[in-house]
Structure 1
Amino acid sequence: MVKVADNHFDNISVNDDPKTWLAKIPLKYPAQQQAIIESSFSLAKALFSQNASAESYFSEGLEIADTLIHLHVDAVTLSAAIIYPMFQHGVITKEALAEKLNPEVAKLCDGVLAMDAISALQSKNLNRKSDQNQTDNFRKMLLAMVDDVRLVLVKLAERLVVLRNVKQEEPSVRVQVATEMSDIYAPLANRLGVGQLKWEMEDLSFRYLEPAQYKAIAKQLDERRVDRERYVNQVLNDIQSELAKLGIHNADVMGRAKHIYSIWRKMKRKNVGFEEIYDVRAVRILVDEIPQCYAALGIVHGLWKHIPKEFDDYIATPKENGYRSLHTAVIGPMGKTLEIQIRTKDMHQESELGVAAHWRYKEGAKAQQAGFEAKISWLRQLLDWQEEVVDASEMLDDFRNTVIEDRIYVFTPQGKVIDLPMGATPVDFAYHVHTDVGHNCRGAKIAGKIVPLTYKLKTGQQVEILTTKNGQPSRDWLNPHNGYIRSSRARSKIHQWFRHLDKDKNAAAGRTILDKDLQRHGFDKVDLLALAQKFNFHSEEELYAAIGAGDIGMTQVINSIRSAKGESIQPVKSVFKPADNRRHNSTNGIQIEGVGSLLTKIAGCCRPVPGDAIRGYITQGRGVAVHRQDCSYILKASEQTPERLIAVSWGKLEKETYSADIHVIAYDRKGLLKDITTVFANAKVSIDSMNTSTDHKSQSVNITLRINVENTDKLSRVLAQLSQISNVTEVKRKH
């Protein structure tokens, strides 16, 4: 049931001379371009005559060229197609091609060969060196594709020819070729808008990958073909008659080809049977002008009742590959479902030829150039993204996901169309707009209403991202069960951020924390490499990063050191304690330099906690008030009453908790307070008080909390976790 595109290859012989061959093909070229094609044909035939084993290469080149003729490609592309199999198998070099034909053909063939990087990257047995080589090759391939997209057309045609002829190969080979076609090349043809190749690729690969289902659908199509054709002809007559009444006489109304893979995919997606698929009975209406498209749509909806949610206007909102058409489904005669596509004849030509249509127009035609750029803009963007990707498998995933997934099309507030995979969220959207927008994303609005970051975007929606200054991504976003991201682009950027963080901030923070604790516990000499290896790290830097990221607690580290030194290990104590003496008089909590036992209290204005730099202030009759060193009260006192300031430091802290005030600003949503309190519960931090106020105009909420923690390390971790909550725009500690 697979219908190979009509071609004239069966009428072509490897014994033909160039002029005879050109006379047989339906596309005619000017004399200068015809000379280029003849030269390529003559060279390929000469190489074949010198090497008998190259006959199949010559035959394959003519079949590739014949496939491309129907895409109306230019002479250089056709010349490259003819000679490419010879070049691919090493019968002729790039230098010889440039000398005997021309440098442009040689460059094009070299670019087609570079696309083998796709197959190489699919290998799962890459070592570090080969992984880097394949990554570099993949980037070169993308660069070549962007530089001259004609090479993609040659590669698509070459792979299609291989698939057509794979029937004679072993079953395992057929499946391998079909899988590669289904996974990579058919979606690539779709992204470039080349429908003429896409349909045949999909149906042929489906035949080998799902033979039983292919045969079942093919049989059903064949059994009911006569009845279906009779039904469709009745529909065509009704539409033609109504179009004529409106004065639309030049319309082409026809039954549309039935593609088995498309039917199977819709059956699977909608979970319905063969008879319920609208594609089985399909009609296409081609008119001259866009207004006639909508007039024809009115006629169709006037004749039959349309099915809700089955109408798509791809003229007003084209697909990312440039596809434009009206799609509708109706309850036709005898109550049978019927799918109808309506578009102009130019739109139809573009949908069949895709990027290949670019060469059918004169150079410099602005409208056509703009359409061409739109079709390959995703390639340019993918190339930009790949500059930031270092892992070969991640790179292939990016490429595969970009070409293969169903897409949605949403808008920025400025009206720019953003192409995303189906199921994408505001976080995916944010990272697509800009990496920094993604990192700082804390909420989103759709049509002016705030939505959660896990909201699944829909085509046609306008998305506004709400950001915060100095934000950062959340590790929760990477958990697939949480539903924050769908695109490999967003996942890659988040991974990259944490990789950089681990190398820089986490390692630096971990070193500081470790040094401070070693000093506090009186450990002067510690073998840090041996310590790191106890935790299965290869270096001290990895240990620092794990401590800084909070993956390893300092109690574990200190206990490990004590164990190595033969000292008793201190049990880990519960850190969930009520702070019933937040203002305490304990001399164990604060040490006052040069003074014995003295009454101390924690200042209520800045509420320092262990780890804060602190300074004491001698009060009148109430002992020493302990402030944060950056407290405005202390800064003022240092100028006005410096004699009352005294040096203090933290003493034993084992049984103390300290209160701290924090301020959270967020865009209001359902479940926000629950998410905030969950952070504290998980961290075993008690909340002493909480006040909230809502600004209905900005849809924001201000939350002030007083919590009880043991030290600044824990406070910092809690603040970081709060800042990662969806819709939270700012978290800060109050002075």
Structure 2
Amino acid sequence: MFTIDDLADRLAGYLPQDEIQQVKRAFYYAEQAHDGQRRRSGEPYVTHPLAVSNILANMHMDHQSLMAAMLHDVIEDTGVSKAALAKQFGEPVAELVDGVSKLTQITFEDKAVAQAENFQKMVMAMSQDIRVIIVKLADRLHNMRTLGALRPDKKRRIARETLEIYARIAGRLGINTIRVELEDLSFQAIHPMRAERIKRAVSKARGNRRTMIRQVQTSLQNCLDDDGLPGTVIGRQKHLLSIYRKMRDQRKPFAEIMDVFGFRIITDDVDTCYRILGAVHNLYKPVPGRFKDYIAIPKANGYQSLHTTLFGANGMPIEVQIRTREMEAMANNGIAAHWLYKAGQTERPIAAGSHARAREWVRGLLEMQRHAGNPLEFIEHVKNDLFPDDIYVFTPKGDIMELPQGATAVDFAYTVHTDIGNGCIACRIDRHLAPLSTRLESGQTLEIITAPGARPNLAWLSFVVTAKARSAIRHALKNQQRTESIQLGRRLLNKALADYETSLEELPDGRLPRVLEEFELKHADDLLESIGLGTRMAYAVARRLTESPADDTLSSDIGGPMEGPVVISGTEGMVISFARCCHPLPGDPVIGHLSVGKGIVVHRLDCRNLDELKRDDPDKLFSLEWSSEISGDFPVGLRIEMETRRGLVAELASLVTDADANIERIGIEERDARLSIVNLTLAVRDRVHLARIIKRIRNLPHVGKIHRVRN
């Protein structure tokens, strides 16, 4: 069994004796605190913190991290407080332990909420000290190594959480040794039979391919030696989850994936990396389009290397990675390389850069957390943000921006700055105008065009991929909805107060504060927002505001709906929406329904759903009229009977485009061998615009009936 003395012997290689003594003191304190506690496997509980410290010792972490690892379950599982730990071991160690500890004093409604709250707490601690996440990853790694004693359902739950969050965080911080092991252990817990079959197949394939691997490795090494290039060639093994994902996503058989041979060449400096690249390209022909230079443009987690794929003997593909020793340490240890080099008393810029990038990422997490509505939304944003495949695009000034695969111009705008994202209206990609939803590719140059007063669009949420953009858009839309609800509420209330020959501004002093107190609201804006969102009736509030203070009875059915129609212009934003059941157009006779949480929903007067609304909510219906200056496009449905023939859709699309309208949706049903029913959803300006389009469609040959879809 691994003991504290074994750990002390390992630490003697890079820590001074007084710091080793502090680590031992933390171990004895944890041993006493966990006295009598045992793990599910039956071992004394203290073996777990000792094993976590050993994992950190492999990464050459500092003595405070090792002490926190020894004590990481003390606050959570024993009666020891954070203050007691601070007194014994100092504030930094106590803060690290508290950052890793779960929230045990609060009862949560379900596991998902508890997970989200605990993760949010850990992120707050990470913002103060990045070592929190390294201790947590080591803790999770040992827990995954010892999952065997748990029930199958609990194993799968912990493994999924590990795969979705902790393995991705390890990858994002560049700690690939931990990431690979976490992924493989999770895969074995979630799909034990698949993992076992792949493991056996890998072992068998490795035996069959040993001679061929040795031949390629020897030829690469001889190539370097002949050119006088210092470097070591080593074989590179694929891990289980990587093989499984390629088989599943690329639909390739196991033999085809294992046919690719992987090698890594480790050398002394960057200049030699490029010279070795030239040498191996002379030895074997490179596969076009498969070269990637991560030295010039590192990945978001600080990873640097040259990647190339070669045609070997008999067309066998060979994947080669070329990097320096420092890059190799960085690839395996990521942010932990910062402490690895510190322990060796030599500052390395690559490790310092990784540490700075990690802190920048944590700052981004904090901004997401501020914008998120609740912990569950926050953890969903974080999961989206942890996908590792990145692209690299340029600002007009030549600065490089890292974005995830599939990112759009809107994602780029929010990466530059939240205000740029909120105000963007168009973009130029490589000096050409392009839609904001365009998916970006590496190497493109982007320029964002902004306008004062521009606001985010709800439709952006359907195509943005970065968590920062998603959370910032949602935050802006919430504020936008409140602003628009207040404006609509003010209009509705003033309209209702006009029946009493007054307005909000002309109310006697003290009348509004009295009503706010009765409604248990703090600000007038809260009252106006509730009217705009339909949770309070404007005429009932108006009646209460005009009553004398002596009348204490408040009734929502006092009085009746306001006189005179409310004018709508179509630019009110999120608090006025148009019913999808009847698709009202400017020029149609319309009526409004005040719907809770949605504001005013506009219906046509002949909408079939009005009968139900009149029966259930007659007080929430009121007359509307269209503004003479209405603008915008409105959806409308058409049902067209016509003869089936080739080129039908293209003909209709051309006609609608020529009429200055857009097709939002098109569907064709075949009634019989001769007739087809075309269902069109168009975006038009008003009834006159629609009538012009219908007239054009009627002029087409072989068109029968045309109906406007009413419900």
Q: What TM-score comes out, normalization by structure 2 length? A: 0.70
Picking from 568, 577, 593, the partner of 1:550 is 577
Question: Do the aligned residues in 2 keep the contact of 1:87 with 1:93 (CA within 8 Å)?
Answer: yes
- How far did 1:247 drift? 1.4
Letter in 1 for 2:326: D
- Residue 486 in structure 1 maps to residue 486 in structure 2: no
- How far did 1:192 drift? 0.7
Q: Residue in 2 aligned with 1:605?
A: none
Q: Residue in 1 aligned with 2:638?
A: none
Residue by residue over 1:178-213, the C-alpha shift from the partner in whole angstroms, topping out at 9 and shown as x without a partner, is 111101100000011101100000111011222333
Q: How does 1:526-675 map to 2 (within 5 A)?
A: 537-540=534-537, 548-551=575-578, 555-557=590-592, 571=605
Q: Residue in 1 aligned with 2:246?
A: 266
Structure-2 separation of matches of 1:177 and 1:64: 17
- How far did 1:52 drift? 5.7
Question: Do the aligned residues in 1 keep the contact of 2:14 with 2:60 (CA within 8 Å)?
Answer: no
Structure-2 separation of matches of 1:322 and 1:189: 12
Structure-2 separation of matches of 1:190 and 1:69: 20
2:322 is paired with a residue whose SS is strand
Pick the structure with greater CA Rg. Answer: 1
Question: Do the aligned residues in 1 keep the contact of 2:270 with 2:324 (CA within 8 Å)?
Answer: yes
- How far did 1:458 drift? 1.9
- How far did 1:322 drift? 0.2
Picking from 322, 327, 333, the partner of 1:347 is 327
- How far did 1:337 drift? 1.6
Q: Residue in 2 aligned with 1:394?
A: 377
Letter in 1 for 2:292: D
Letter in 1 for 2:154: V
- How far did 1:364 drift? 9.5
Question: Do the aligned residues in 2 keep the contact of 1:111 with 1:145 (CA within 8 Å)?
Answer: yes
Q: Residue in 1 aligned with 2:434?
A: 451
Structure-2 separation of matches of 1:686 and 1:386: 48
- Residue 322 in structure 1 maps to residue 302 in structure 2: yes
Question: Do the aligned residues in 1 keep the contact of 2:184 with 2:240 (CA within 8 Å)?
Answer: yes
Identity of aligned residues (%): 31
2:276 is paired with a residue whose SS is helix
With over 3 angstroms needed to count, the CA separation of the structure-2 counterparts of 1:139 and 1:509, relative to structure 1, is same
With over 3 angstroms needed to count, the CA separation of the structure-2 counterparts of 1:182 and 1:280, relative to structure 1, is farther
Q: How does 1:89-100 map to 2 (within 5 A)?
A: 89-90=77-78, 92-100=80-88
- How far did 1:229 drift? 2.3
- Residue 497 in structure 1 maps to residue 497 in structure 2: no
- How far did 1:25 drift? 6.0
Q: Residue in 2 aligned with 1:286?
A: 266
Structure-1 separation of matches of 2:294 and 2:538: 54
- Residue 30 in structure 1 maps to residue 30 in structure 2: no
Q: Residue in 1 aligned with 2:36?
A: 51
Q: Residue in 2 aligned with 1:437?
A: 420
Structure-2 separation of matches of 1:411 and 1:314: 16
With over 3 angstroms needed to count, the CA separation of the structure-2 counterparts of 1:321 and 1:659, relative to structure 1, is closer
Structure-1 separation of matches of 2:292 and 2:110: 36
With over 3 angstroms needed to count, the CA separation of the structure-2 counterparts of 1:506 and 1:534, relative to structure 1, is closer
Structure-2 separation of matches of 1:35 and 1:344: 36
Question: Do the aligned residues in 2 keep the contact of 1:510 with 1:547 (CA within 8 Å)?
Answer: no
- How far did 1:20 drift? 5.0
- How far did 1:559 drift? 12
Question: Do the aligned residues in 2 keep the contact of 1:194 with 1:355 (CA within 8 Å)?
Answer: yes
Picking from 216, 231, 250, the partner of 2:212 is 231
Question: Do the aligned residues in 1 keep the contact of 2:266 with 2:324 (CA within 8 Å)?
Answer: yes
Residue by residue over 1:632-683, the C-alpha shift from the partner in whole angstroms, topping out at 9 and shown as x without a partner, is xxxxxxxxxxxxxxxxxxxxx99x9968999xxxxxxx99988973399434
Letter in 2 for 1:356: A
Structure-1 separation of matches of 2:300 and 2:94: 31
Picking from 341, 365, 376, the partner of 1:361 is 341
1:318 is paired with a residue whose SS is coil
Q: Residue in 2 aligned with 1:678?
A: 662
Letter in 2 for 1:501: Q
Structure-1 separation of matches of 2:149 and 2:297: 44
2:577 is paired with a residue whose SS is coil
Letter in 2 for 1:235: V
Comparing 433-442 with 366-375, greater Cα deviation is found at 366-375
Gaps of 5+ in 1: 1-9, 561-568, 574-652, 663-669, 689-735
With over 3 angstroms needed to count, the CA separation of the structure-2 counterparts of 1:69 and 1:307, relative to structure 1, is same
- How far did 1:80 drift? 1.6
With over 3 angstroms needed to count, the CA separation of the structure-2 counterparts of 1:391 and 1:246, relative to structure 1, is same
- Residue 425 in structure 1 maps to residue 408 in structure 2: yes
Q: How does 1:170-249 map to 2 (within 5 A)?
A: 170-249=151-230
- How far did 1:30 drift? 1.4
Q: Residue in 2 aligned with 1:704?
A: none
- How far did 1:97 drift? 2.2
With over 3 angstroms needed to count, the CA separation of the structure-2 counterparts of 1:673 and 1:456, relative to structure 1, is same
Question: Do the aligned residues in 2 keep the contact of 1:430 with 1:438 (CA within 8 Å)?
Answer: yes
Structure-2 separation of matches of 1:203 and 1:258: 11
Structure-1 separation of matches of 2:10 and 2:629: 89
Q: Residue in 2 aligned with 1:160?
A: 141
| Number of residue pairs the alignment of both structures matches | 562
Q: How does 1:709-724 map to 2 (within 5 A)?
A: none
- Residue 508 in structure 1 maps to residue 525 in structure 2: no
Question: Do the aligned residues in 1 keep the contact of 2:100 with 2:132 (CA within 8 Å)?
Answer: yes
Residue by residue over 1:273-306, the C-alpha shift from the partner in whole angstroms, topping out at 9 and shown as x without a partner, is 2233378521110000011111111122222222
Question: Do the aligned residues in 2 keep the contact of 1:511 with 1:548 (CA within 8 Å)?
Answer: no
Comparing 224-233 with 89-98, greater Cα deviation is found at 89-98
Q: Residue in 2 aligned with 1:701?
A: none
Question: Do the aligned residues in 2 keep the contact of 1:508 with 1:548 (CA within 8 Å)?
Answer: no
Comparing 399-408 with 672-681, greater Cα deviation is found at 672-681
With over 3 angstroms needed to count, the CA separation of the structure-2 counterparts of 1:31 and 1:535, relative to structure 1, is closer
- How far did 1:476 drift? 2.7
With over 3 angstroms needed to count, the CA separation of the structure-2 counterparts of 1:549 and 1:80, relative to structure 1, is same
Picking from 430, 442, 453, the partner of 1:470 is 453
- How far did 1:161 drift? 0.7
Question: Do the aligned residues in 2 keep the contact of 1:115 with 1:155 (CA within 8 Å)?
Answer: no
With over 3 angstroms needed to count, the CA separation of the structure-2 counterparts of 1:30 and 1:241, relative to structure 1, is same
Q: Residue in 2 aligned with 1:370?
A: 353
With over 3 angstroms needed to count, the CA separation of the structure-2 counterparts of 1:227 and 1:77, relative to structure 1, is same
1:277 is paired with a residue whose SS is helix
With over 3 angstroms needed to count, the CA separation of the structure-2 counterparts of 1:676 and 1:86, relative to structure 1, is farther
Letter in 2 for 1:498: L
Q: Residue in 2 aligned with 1:105?
A: 93
Q: How does 1:82-161 map to 2 (within 5 A)?
A: 82-90=70-78, 92-113=80-101, 123-124=111-112, 139-161=120-142
Q: Residue in 1 aligned with 2:49?
A: 61
With over 3 angstroms needed to count, the CA separation of the structure-2 counterparts of 1:253 and 1:511, relative to structure 1, is same
Structure-2 separation of matches of 1:226 and 1:21: 36
Question: Do the aligned residues in 2 keep the contact of 1:57 with 1:86 (CA within 8 Å)?
Answer: no
- How far did 1:433 drift? 1.8
Structure-1 separation of matches of 2:445 and 2:364: 21
Question: Do the aligned residues in 1 keep the contact of 2:531 with 2:537 (CA within 8 Å)?
Answer: no
Question: Do the aligned residues in 2 keep the contact of 1:44 with 1:83 (CA within 8 Å)?
Answer: yes
Comparing 417-426 with 287-296, greater Cα deviation is found at 417-426
2:319 is paired with a residue whose SS is strand
Residue by residue over 1:361-389, the C-alpha shift from the partner in whole angstroms, topping out at 9 and shown as x without a partner, is 34894724333101331111121232222
Question: Do the aligned residues in 1 keep the contact of 2:292 with 2:306 (CA within 8 Å)?
Answer: yes
Letter in 2 for 1:211: P
Question: Do the aligned residues in 1 keep the contact of 2:174 with 2:301 (CA within 8 Å)?
Answer: yes
